[in-house]
Amino acid sequence: MEPTMPTDEHDSLLVTVVEDDRLLREMLQQVITVWGFRVQTASSGEEGLEVLCLRPAPILLTDLVMPGKGGVWLVREVRKRFPETIALVLTGQHESEPAIECLNAGALRYLLKPPCLHDLRNALNVAAELVNLRRERASYQEDLERTVRRQTQRIRRLSLSGIKSLNIALEARDPYTSGHSQRVRRYSLALGKALGLERRTLRKLALAACLHDIGKVAIAESILNKPGRLTVDEHRTIQRHPVLGEKILRPIIRNREVLGAIRGHHERMDGKGYPDGLSGEQIPLLARIISVADCFDAVTTIRPYRGALSLSETAALLNELAGSQLDPHIVAAWLKLIKGAVDAAPGPREAFREALTAPTGRP
């Protein structure tokens, strides 16, 4: 039956009336409509559930004893499927057992038939107040959660911006590594796209690649820029930077893939890397990608103790490291990209770099 239109203050609330007695059902529909509710009706427990499934209502008024499934069954089903719906039960039985059974099933109140209209209206008003309070509470909770999310995101953006500034300061300490993180980011993105990573994963890869060496901010400049051979202790200190980077970023970046890539970018395929001695596919994919990009940038950039390798020398070195230090599948993809970039820009090295990573765009 179509719901009747409201005339009073409860015009946003729909009441489902389930009653097998047609005359009583129609009387309840008319009276409850006058009180300002919308009404939809059913003549049995099964039909009542069907009506509610088609059009959920915040208030249920049901008879207790009906042919087929009764009111207790209906209240239990509604409780399971629509836990926010408030149930009121009508019955002609005066025993206490049915009342207790209904309340245990989840009904708010038990009313005798024929219902006292004053009591029925009070019960419906109480139910309406509960519905409105729940809605207000849910709305307040949603607003609060939205505000918290916005503020948390703002704090993280500000914190991440500060971390990226630290990264710039880190590279400024060593002119030979200036721009390293951004180049590794561009190379990693080019690799990620060649490997068919989805956009969301590319964003994680870009962030991890940009910040992969952030842990070095906690390492003394005298060790980072030492011109001679490092001592065993100094080498161990340098090897701590992936773990330090993860610790620095964990309060700001909650994503495990990003943190795992930063922690794992110095792991090796043969298990001889650091900090965890992971091997093969135990090493996160993003870490394996960054490792290839990091290695490529390191050997093609001029350092105080050596010159930059040529592209042919770099390709030979990457092939040599494939399978032991680097993922051979990713190395093969990178060498294919290098060949394409050389064909596109056979001139100066910077033109080659641009051809290798263009168009980068936003991941």
Q: What is the pLDDT of residues 261-298, one digit of tens each?
A: 999 999 999 999 999 999 999 999 999 999 999 999 99
Between residues 62 and 7, the one the model is more confident about: 62
The pLDDT of residue 149: 74
Between residues 104 and 157, the one the model is more confident about: 104
How many Å apart are CA 89 and CA 318, to the nearest integer?
Answer: 77
- Segments making up each domain of the chain, as ranges: 14-141, 173-357
Q: Is the pTM of this model over 0.85?
A: no
Under 8 Å CB-to-CB from 301, ≥6 apart: which residues? 176, 177, 180, 308
pLDDT bucket at 252, cuts 50 / 70 / 90: confident
**Under 8 Å between Cβ of 363 and 205:** yes
Domain 14-141 sits in CATH 3.40.50.1820 = no
Token pair of 191, please? 């690799």
**Under 8 Å between Cβ of 89 and 110:** yes
Can you list the positions of beta strands (E) in the chain? 14-18, 38-42, 59-63, 86-91, 109-112
Pick 173-357's CATH classification: 3.10.310.40, 3.40.50.2020, 2.60.120.260, 1.10.3210.10. 1.10.3210.10
Q: Is 216 a catalytic residue?
A: yes
The residue from 164, 216, 247, 339 that is catalytic is 216
The pLDDT of residue 242: 96
Q: What is the pLDDT of residues 210-241, one digit of tens each?
A: 999 988 888 888 888 777 788 999 999 999 99
How many Å apart are CA 84 and CA 250, to the nearest integer?
Answer: 38
The pLDDT of residue 208: 94
Between residues 339 and 98, the one the model is more confident about: 339
Q: What is the pLDDT of residues 16-56, one digit of tens each?
A: 999 998 999 999 999 999 999 999 999 999 999 999 999 99
State yes or no: pLDDT of 360 exceeds 60: no
pLDDT bucket at 7, cuts 50 / 70 / 90: very low
Q: Convert 253-276 to b/e letters by CB count within 10 Å (16 or more is b).
A: beeebbbbbbbbbbbbbeeebbbe
Residue 265's beta-bridge partner residues? none
